[in-house]
Structure 1
Amino acid sequence: MTTGLHMSNVTKYYSEGSNKIAALDQVSITISPGELVAVVGPSGSGKSTFLSVAGALLKASQGEVNISGQELSELSDRELSTIRLNEIGFIMQSSNLVPYLNVLDQLLIVKRMSGKVKSADKEVAIRLLEELGLGAKLKSFPEALSGGEKQRTAIARALINDPKVILADEPTASLDTKRAHEVVGLIAKEVKSRKKAAIMVTHDERMLEYCDKVYRMEDGKLTAV
């Protein structure tokens, strides 16, 4: 069975008037469990579309996207929603925390989306937050957190359902250099220790040292650097 994330000859078209624009053009990539891959490239090159297709948010126009042996094009919208919840962890550039939830509840709300929150879920969430250095912040709300703490909370939230794939979109965009290194170092550590297949889209060349492979995207085409 295929593990990790595999994309084969993926093309994504958008219609512009009577024209078809290829936002992704025959993209192929394989990311194995425990591997952190960076994708760099200018704005408008197709990076956001690439992440959206990899994350089952958009369907490819052509080609195959496979997560741990499941071919996404064969799944219904409901099945894709389940894949997004259970198999994919998203880390966004602005942490995207819910302002009225404390740090612990940011994780438990993800569990609640899958059904009832059990006491074992709470224990897992607390242990995960402690591991990421947030043990003293369980009851803190986002407004009381630093930028680095918000992103660490977002990393914990991405990991809470033990997904197969982690997708990080510019996770250092709002951080200073020290915090950026802390956050990406942490993502790399968790990806390796938990055997996740991970993609990080970034403009931040300083962060590439943490990645196993680097790809460049330009005009919808993906090439290894």
Structure 2
Amino acid sequence: MTAGLQISSVTKYYAEGNNRISALEQVSISVEPGEFVAVVGPSGSGKSTFLSIAGALLKPSEGEVNLNGHLLSKLTDKELSHIRLKEIGFIMQSSNLVPYLNVLDQILLVKRMSGKVRAEDKTFAIKLLDELGLHSKLKNFPDELSGGEKQRTAIARALINNPNVILADEPTASLDTKRAHEVVSLIANEVRSRQKAAIMVTHDERMLEYCDKVYRMEDGRLSL
């Protein structure tokens, strides 16, 4: 079985009247387990469309996505939903935490969505939060956390189902420089120690030192 994420000759276009507008043009990328890659490019270059296709949220017009051995074009909507929950960890620009849940319950909510919470799930959640420097914050609510702590909680939430692929969309957008470095360095450490295939879309050139490869996207085309 092919591990990691392989995107092969993916094109995405939209019909606008009689015109065909291309959002992505023949995009190919392969990310292995333990590899952390960045995709940078100006607004409107196709980065969001690319991440949506990589995350099984959007279907390509042409080409193929192979996520940990699953050809996404062959899957039903129900199977795609299962892949998003079990195989992909999403880290968004804002942490999107639930205001009335404490840090530990934020993480376990993902487990509840996929079934019941077992004792070992709780143990793993506490271990993750410990690794991310949040052990003293287990019972804290989002309004009691700093921006960096919220993003670290979001990283733990992305990892709780032990997904094979991590997709981060501008994870430092709302952070100052110190917190941004802290968060991306933690993502990089988790990716390598847990052997995840990870892609970070970012405008933040300061964060590229943590990545194994940097791709540029312009006008829907991806290049190294």
TM-score surpassing 0.5? Answer: yes
Tell me, in whole angstroms, the C-alpha distance in 2 between the residues paired with 1:99 and 1:11: 38
1:175 is aligned to 2:198: no
Q: Which residue of 2 aligns with 1:219?
A: 219
Q: Which residue of 2 aligns with 1:5?
A: 5
SS of equivalent residue, structure 1 residue 53: helix
1:180-225 superposed Cα distances (whole Å, 9 cap, x missing partner): 000000000000000000000000000000000000001100000x
Letter in structure 2 aligned against 1:171? P
Shift of 1:49: 0.3
Tell me, in whole angstroms, the C-alpha distance in 2 between the residues paired with 1:133 and 1:63: 41
Q: Which residue of 2 aligns with 1:81?
A: 81
Tell me, in whole angstroms, the C-alpha distance in 1 between the residues paired with 2:211 and 2:16: 36
SS of equivalent residue, structure 1 residue 173: coil
Alignment coverage as a number of residue pairs:
224
1:50 is aligned to 2:50: yes
Shift of 1:78: 0.2
1:137-191 superposed Cα distances (whole Å, 9 cap, x missing partner): 1111111100000000000000000000000000001111000000000000000
Alignment gaps of 5+ in structure 1:
none
Shift of 1:118: 1.0
Q: Which residue of 2 aligns with 1:64?
A: 64
Deviates more, 1:93-102 or 1:205-214: 93-102
1:39-61 superposed Cα distances (whole Å, 9 cap, x missing partner): 00000000000000000000111
Letter in structure 2 aligned against 1:17? G
Shift of 1:127: 1.1
| Mapping of residues 98-109 of structure 1, within 5 Å | 98-109=98-109
1:144 is aligned to 2:138: no
Shift of 1:97: 0.8
SS of equivalent residue, structure 2 residue 13: strand
Tell me, in whole angstroms, the C-alpha distance in 1 between the residues paired with 2:186 and 2:117: 27
Shift of 1:96: 0.9
Deviates more, 1:9-18 or 1:195-204: 9-18
Alignment gaps of 5+ in structure 2:
none
1:63-113 superposed Cα distances (whole Å, 9 cap, x missing partner): 000011110000000000000000000000011111111100111110001
Shift of 1:13: 1.1
Tell me, in whole angstroms, the C-alpha distance in 1 between the residues paired with 2:86 and 2:72: 14
SS of equivalent residue, structure 1 residue 105: helix
SS of equivalent residue, structure 1 residue 100: coil
Letter in structure 2 aligned against 1:28? S
Tell me, in whole angstroms, the C-alpha distance in 2 between the residues paired with 1:47 and 1:29: 13
Q: Which residue of 2 aligns with 1:124?
A: 124
Q: Which residue of 2 aligns with 1:96?
A: 96
Shift of 1:15: 1.8
Query: TM-score normalised to the size of structure 2?
Result: 0.99
